[in-house]
Amino acid sequence: MVDDGAANRELIRSYLGQIDCDVREAEDGPAALAQIEISAPDLVLLDVRMPKMDGYEVCRRIKAMPHGRLLPVVMITGLSQTTHRIMALEAGADDFMAKPVEGAELIARVRSALRLKELYNSLDGAEHVIFSLATAVEAKDAFTERHTQRVGESARFLGQCLGLSDSMLDTLYRGGMIHDIGKIGVSDSILHKPGPLDPIEVPQMQAHVAIGESIVRPLRSTSGLLPIIRHHHERFDGLGYPDGLRGREIPRAARIVSVCDAFDALVNDRPYRVRRSTEEALEVLRAGAGSQWDPEAVALLASELPSIQHLGAA
Ligand SMILES: [Fe+2]
């Protein structure tokens, strides 16, 4: 925890008492960097406004360290304007939250960041590249900040509600995070297009599922994720792509991720439209249940909505 205010550090330390973790403190950027150099933590909570070196610069320096890319940094900013959030993302922050810090939100975010770190720790060298690529995809599109992680978290949560096995939960989390990895091969002009795609652009966008598959296929450890990557745009009525699977022919994990992906996309801004309210998003999902989406997955998401929103507290 890096903050020049002793009272802030005290407050955050008291919140973190609810999580099983050790808390180390630094009162400015240079002190934090020196500590991280000696012994890297699992997570850095970083204040933005500090003397000597501001939080953005501290974040940039952490991310430039060997393995720093894989050390989650959550920036805590007193400034809620979009520009400051974008500056945090540009500095490489994995997440940010606004002051005053609210206890339940802090705990949710810290848990989520620690889970991310645990995932990174469990990856082999090639997998690191894949997950870093997934982050790079997100960085291509400023509108989808933290989208993939929220999809992973919510898909995992729905899997938990369904009583699925631990390995399936792991598949849902990882698959939710990298399902759109193939977008790395789609041009920015298509990804960022503010209006509907034309008939030439549509297949180029749809190619992201096959591109994603070809990126991930060589890795045995991620082979369980291939059905999610390939089939997350299938539709329940069989009119989706790439294979026109219908109903339960579509792998269950892909059906779950697809609903989580759609919900999170609806309640967040996209290049081609502004975000919708939760109620409007649910209406869209319910209207498409049985045609676009698995009706069971939609009903489950709707009934678990408060928990889902808590996971992605924005
Ligand atoms: Fe996709």
Q: Tokens 């994995």 identify what position?
A: 94
- 77 Cα to the center of ligand 1, angstroms: 31
pTM of the model: 0.74
Q: Which domains does the chain have, with CATH numbers?
A: 1-111 (3.40.50.2300), 123-314 (1.10.3210.10)
Question: With bands split at pLDDT 50, 70 and 90, how would you rate the model's confidence at 300?
Answer: very high
Distance of CA 266 from the midpoint of ligand 1 (Å): 14
Residue 269 has pLDDT above 80, yes or no: no
Task: Give pLDDT tens digits for 241-266.
Answer: 999 999 999 999 999 999 999 999 89
**What is the C-alpha separation between 30 and 94, in angstroms, rounded?**
20
Q: Give the pair of three-digit tokens for residue 146.
A: 């933290």
Measured in Å, residue 276 CA sits from the centre of ligand 1 at: 19
pLDDT confidence tier of residue 313, bands split at 50, 70 and 90:
very low
* Cα-to-centroid distance, 52 and ligand 1 (Å): 43
Q: What is the pLDDT of residue 312?
A: 56
150 C-alpha to center of ligand 1: Å?
14
Query: Which region among 74-78, 129-133, 186-190, 290-294 has the lowest average model confidence (pLDDT)?
Result: 129-133
Q: How far is the CA of 244 from the centre of ligand 1 (A)?
A: 15
Containing H/E element for 96?
strand 95-98
Contact of 182 with 208, CB cutoff 8 Å: yes
At 62, the pLDDT band (50, 70, 90 cuts) reads: very high
The answer to whether residue 297 scores a pLDDT higher than 70 is yes
Model confidence at 131, pLDDT cuts 50, 70, 90, reads confident
Q: How far apart are CA 237 and CA 179, in angstroms?
A: 21
Query: Measured in angstroms, how far is the CA atom of residue 229 from the centroid of ligand 1?
Result: 8
Answer yes or no: is pLDDT of 293 > 90. yes
pLDDT in the model for residue 259: 97
